[in-house]
Amino acid sequence: MLLSAGRHRRTRTLAIAAAVACASGAGGVYLGLSGGGAQAASVTVTVSTAAQLEAAVKNATAGTVIQVRGGTYYPAATLKSTADGTRSARITLRAYGSEKVRIDGSELPDGSWLADLHGDHWTVENLAFVNSPAQGFVATSSVGGVFRNLVTADNGDSGFTLRGDGTTGNLVQNLDSHGNYDPADHGQNADGIAVKFGSGTGNRITGARLYDNSDDGLDLWQFSSPVTIEHSWAFGNGENHWHDPAFEGNGNGFELGGGGASVAHVVNDNAAWGNTLHGFTENSNTGAIALNRNTAYANAHNGFSFATGKARLGKNLAVGDKGGPAELGSATVSTGNNWDSGATTPPFRSTDATSAYGARRADGSLPATTFLTTGSRTVGSTMGTP
């Protein structure tokens, strides 16, 4: 009997789904077809060994859900995929239930990335990527990615990276990225999160904690489209925790450009403290960066450094920064900030940062804290409080 074109597609999709399940070595379960657009099998693959994890990522197709059982995994090769999900049939990589999963790159060859995705519409959540020889987690030219409740720590270059042209509509939510250090370059490249060397609109970072990285908390080097950063904290970056005698880390909290880019990034309700350079800096980005209700505290240089561009700063708060609250150029617009004429500086409820290092809330959002809060509705970061 001849099959219709639609039945051909369905038969091929089911065959691909079965192949994914078999390749993983852990029984896949067919859950049905996605609605709206191309028919794609929804297959759940549960993995419990590093080899199964590598195979499941490599062979994933639209609709695949990869669930990783609790434990520590030591891949022998980079977790790599070029597969695309779709809006209605995403590819999902996540921990099984509430189990804790660490993906550890300490057995990878020198220079290897731990995770390397070149695909659209992925959801990656509730996983830790640690101890990579180089980058921890990299998504290249990703469209519609959701990267939620991740940890990228102690990697040999930047913890989490979005890069490449066509990087569009990605959400990075509730990321903890810390302790990343690139020994080969003496700490000058390893950021908590890097969105660099690319372009694409609609990318948003929210709820991140970026701390104790050798270079910057966040770096937007040579990314030529606006990125939105909100409700995130960058602290303690640039300290030489590795006792490197030739250490070259910068130590900005939020480095908002560089490399010739002129981009109007949006930076709202964030905090930067205890960094070895500036809290917030344009880093030669001449675009009209918008910064509203951010707090800088006790950074080694300026709280806000925007000397050459057209940044617009409103209702920001800077206290105790050794280089002064703000270094602003003639094209910068500054209104309602605590350093502006007629503005006041409300007192902090607490300057004890202990609670900022605490456990996140049940939904993955930043921990509750009174640190650097003022109760003001007009100036400074809310520090995650309503």
Element containing residue 211 per DSSP (H, E): strand 209-211
Q: What is the model's pLDDT at position 30?
A: 33
- Mind listing the domains of the chain with CATH numbers? 1-97 (no CATH), 105-386 (2.160.20.10)
Q: What is the model's pLDDT at position 40?
A: 57
- CA-based angle 31:37:42, to the nearest 5? 15
Q: Which of 203, 201, 147 is nearest to 176 (CA)?
A: 147
Q: What is the model's pLDDT at position 386?
A: 60
Q: What is the Cβ-side half-sphere exposure of residue 118, based on CA atoms within 13 angstroms?
A: 8
The pair of structure tokens assigned to 116 is: 């390397």
Q: Give the integer Cα–Cα distance in Å for 17 and 2.
A: 23
Q: What is the model's pLDDT at position 384?
A: 87
What is the value of pTM for the model shown? 0.90
Q: What is the model's pLDDT at position 377?
A: 87
Q: Give the integer Cα–Cα distance in Å for 65 and 51.
A: 17
Which of the residues in the chain have pLDDT under 50?
1-39
The pair of structure tokens assigned to 383 is: 């520090």
Tell me the per-residue pLDDT of 361-373, one tens digit each, with 9 for 90 and over. 999 999 999 999 9
Q: What is the model's pLDDT at position 14?
A: 32
Q: Estimate to the nearest angstrom the gap between the alpha carbon of 382 and the chain centroid.
A: 21
